[in-house]
Amino acid sequence: MTDHVHTKVRNGTGFITLDRPKALNSLSLDMIRTITGTLLAWRDDSDIAAVVVRSTTEKALCAGGDIRFFHAAGTATPQGGSAQIEDFFTEEYALNYLVYCFPKPYVALMDGVVMGGGMGIAQGGPHSSVRVVTDRTRLAMPEVNIGLFPDVGGSYFLSHAPGKLGVYLALTALTIGAADAMYCRLADHYVPAAELPQLADLVGSTAGAGLREAVGMFGRSLRDEAGPSELQAHRALIDDHFTQPSVPDIVASLRRDDHPFAQKTLAAMERRSPLMMCVTFEMIRRGATMGVADCLRMERNLVRRTFEHGEIIEGVRALAIDKDHAPRWNPPTLDGVTEDMVARFFEPAWPAWAHPLRHL
């Protein structure tokens, strides 16, 4: 158990509240275990009709996994052999699958920062989840900026975003707000932060079985207040560039386009890990034809290979440890990334019968 996750039940609704504000609710293994244990108990409890996931701080629902932990565990045991890392990702992805398949209404209040692992506990299944964003929402899958790839089911929910929006989000690691999140189908409803107390009153007074519909009606009445979507305005440009057959081709296409949005996109990609952008591109291509469980099993394999390579250790060092923001990527440019390098990440790390997520 952990002091960073609080649970309670009111009127047939179970509330999971993340309370690690100084770390923007970054997930530790203990937090993952507490959330998992709670959801498993509530899934099978007939007195619990719905679940709400929320935060004690307006700054974030969850900023992702604890990347400082990744660096410490990865440097202590080179080549990705840390038992702590193995347990963290196995149990995190099992939690992501549990959230996606949860059979009761599951409301995620995506106020503030929602990135990486935060997306994993917010992106529930299409028939149960209600994803609420606000004017404070800052959503991203920023993993290629730290030498990782968009995990926690990103190979599934990004590959199913409209057009090439998921590829764009994955390769740029850029942050979007509420209107763009809804346009990308990564959120369902918009509620201004000023209206959250009224939403809280509604949630607290609504019987669990009717919670999904009540929140939906409340959010629909406020949807237009989210404003215009920048990604919708540039959808044709995004689809044109990101339909290219490889990351180098996407970059070359962007370089030929002097539109400010294209140049902003190019500048972002030029700061990311060349290798992990290529791995991510292939991952999303494969994920488009796979179910959630197979996507998570693929990602679990990729995690092992990523720590073996060490790109994430360097990325976290540059961003969060030394904070020099000058990662020494390996290889340093897209020209140095070969097909064999990318293929290595997809080679099975375990036989199918021994895969840590084989039971999903």
According to DSSP, residue 137 is labeled -
Helix axes 83-100, 29-43, angle to 10 degrees: 30
How far apart are alpha carbons 53 and 259 in whole angstroms?
40
Q: Which two tokens stand for residue 14?
A: 């179970």
Is residue 22 within 8 A of residue 79, CB to CB? The reply is no
Identity of the amino acid at 268: A
How far apart are alpha carbons 216 and 192 in whole angstroms?
14
Q: How far does CA 62 lie from the centroid of its chain? A: 10
According to DSSP, residue 62 is labeled E
Catalytic (active site) residue 65: yes
Residues 6+ apart with CB under 8 A from 351: none
Helix, strand, coil percentages (3-state) for the chain, rounded to 5, are 50, 10, 35
Q: Which two tokens stand for residue 288?
A: 């488009």
210-228 burial by CB neighbour count: b if 16+ within 10 A, else e?
A: ebbebbbebbeeeeeebee
Q: Which of 66, 92, 143, 188 is catalytic?
A: 143
Q: Which residue has the tokens 């097909």?
A: 339
How far apart are alpha carbons 307 and 302 in whole angstroms?
9
Q: Which two tokens stand for residue 245?
A: 């057959």
Q: Which of 66, 92, 151, 311 is catalytic?
A: 151
How far apart are alpha carbons 140 and 283 in whole angstroms?
17
- Whole-Å CA distances, 274 to 55, 151, 304, 335: 34, 17, 18, 9
Catalytic (active site) residue 314: no
Is residue 5 within 8 A of residue 19, CB to CB? The reply is yes
Is residue 178 within 8 A of residue 187, CB to CB? The reply is yes
How far apart are alpha carbons 28 and 67 in whole angstroms?
10
Instruction: Please confirm whether the linkage preceding 21 is cis (ω < 30° from 0).
Output: no
Catalytic (active site) residue 151: yes
Q: Which of 14, 64, 80, 117 is catalytic?
A: 117
Q: Which residues are catalytic?
A: 65, 117, 143, 151
